[in-house]
Amino acid sequence: MADTLDRALLEWYDSRRRDLPWRRQRDPYRIWVSEVMLQQTRVETAIPYYLRWLERFPDLLSLARAPEEEVLALWSGLGYYSRARNLHAAVREVASRYGGEVPRDPDAFAALPGVGEYTAGAVLSIAYGLRLPAVDGNALRVLVRLGALEGDITRTAVRREAVRLAARLVPEDRPGDFNQALMELGGSVCVPRRPRCGDCPITAWCEARRRGLEGVLPRRTRRPAAPAVPLAAALIRDGSGRVGLARRPAVGLLAGMWGLPAFEVGAETPAGAVAAALERHLEEAHGLRVRVGPPVARARHVFSHRTWEMTAFAGDLLEAPPEGPGWRWLTPGELEGFPLPRAFSRLVEAAGLVPAAPAGRPERRRSTR
């Protein structure tokens, strides 16, 4: 076995690294896209989105030139939509300010929207070979065990300590591979519960293992359960059977995405008054005069911090709606391929307007038989 931690880890990585789409080249733009998609997202989830993204936006300038609507459409279903908006804005800044070349300077790169300490370290170490740490959730767990850091990892101080440890460990030679190896080790061997220390290439250096703490580290206070929030949505048809969609506000949950017009029902609204409250919401938020009828579909959607208990009410349009950038009508056929966030696509499915979507998220195939 190699006699230093970094050599042992790199040897392990060389023998078992996965063949991932973003590991086939070192184009900084492509590495960057992968790192943003992978923020809080599993590798297997991101891959189909990544491939489709690069087909449409093969280089930085093609993304910089694209309209935001198309960018969000390609991201839809992946979640955390500000990632897409920030990446789009950042790429435009690189195009205009840096001549289309991703800056090598860590401070300049990290100043771009959506680029934090992790993403800067990952992109610059992988694409440019800079000796920078990149500590994601997986690497954090490895580092906490390696150094037997006993503090609560939800605290900033403990995370900083882990980053300092990583900065000490990352070698001049192959820093990008080292960072990826640390992450991959956390994802496959140094897993949250019951780590497979027998398969670990750096167990000889692991302080938690030496002290018998590998099963209890990292320590973390648990999050409170997400509250359930009722959501009232309107399923409004126009004279020709099309369905009304509203663009959500630019800030907040699902910001800027399209969905059924909807609002979160507060505790002050009794169950019997929801329909009337929905009518008021449609009037105030969209200038629509609608008579809200009976509920036609229900669905539950779990976010990380709240759960929507969704009810869709049928709505009869009393008066022609105003045209505008925040409102559009789609036929059920158009709805089927439309980039809706999952919460709304599920609700529309429950209403029987479109067939249930196929398992693969990104390829919204039209009619596969």
Binding interface with DNA (CB under 7 A): 20, 23, 34-35, 38-45, 76-82, 86, 112-120, 122, 136-138, 140-141, 154-157, 180, 183-184, 186-187, 191-193, 220, 222-223, 225, 251-255, 301-306, 341-343, 361
Distance of closest approach, residue 64 Cβ to DNA, in angstroms: 17
Cβ closest to DNA, residue 58 vs residue 116: 116
Cβ closest to DNA, residue 159 vs residue 281: 159
- Beta carbons of 200 and 132 less than 8 angstroms apart: no
Classify residue 323 by its DSSP letter. P
Q: Which residues sit opposite 310 in a β-bridge?
A: 231, 299
Q: Are strands 243-247 and 327-330 parallel, antiparallel or unpaired?
A: antiparallel
Q: How far is the CB of 142 from DNA (least distance, A)?
A: 10
The tokens of 356 are what? 């249930």
Minimum separation from the CB atom of position 143 to DNA (A): 11
- The nearest distance, CB 221 to DNA, in angstroms, is 9
Query: Is residue 173 left, alpha or beta, with left meaning phi > 0 and alpha meaning psi from -120 to 50?
Result: beta
**Separation between Cα atoms, residue 49 and residue 151, nearest integer Å:** 36
- Read off the tokens for 200: 């670990």
d(CA 210, CA 139): 19
Choose between 1 and 225: whose C-beta lies nearer to DNA: 225
The answer to whether residue 214 is catalytic is no
Provide the token pair at 107. Answer: 């401070």
Minimal distance, residue 340 CB to DNA, in Å: 8
Q: How many helices (H) and strands (E) does the chain have?
A: 15, 7
Q: Which is nearer to DNA, 237 or 364 (CB)?
A: 364
CB burial readout 335-348, b (16+ within 10 A) else e = bbebbbbbbbbbbb
Please name the residue ranges forming H helices in 147-219: 156-169, 175-188, 207-211
What pairs with residue 185 in β-bridges? none
Residue of 35, 184, 279, 349 marked catalytic: 35
CB-wise, 113 or 289, nearer to DNA? 113
Considering the complex, state which of residue 78 and residue 290 has its C-beta at the smaller distance from DNA.
78
d(CA 201, CA 255): 44
Spatial contact of 119 and 132, defined as CB atoms under 8 Å apart: no
d(CA 114, CA 87): 6
Write down the least CB distance from residue 314 to DNA, Å: 23
Q: Please list the active-site residues.
A: 35
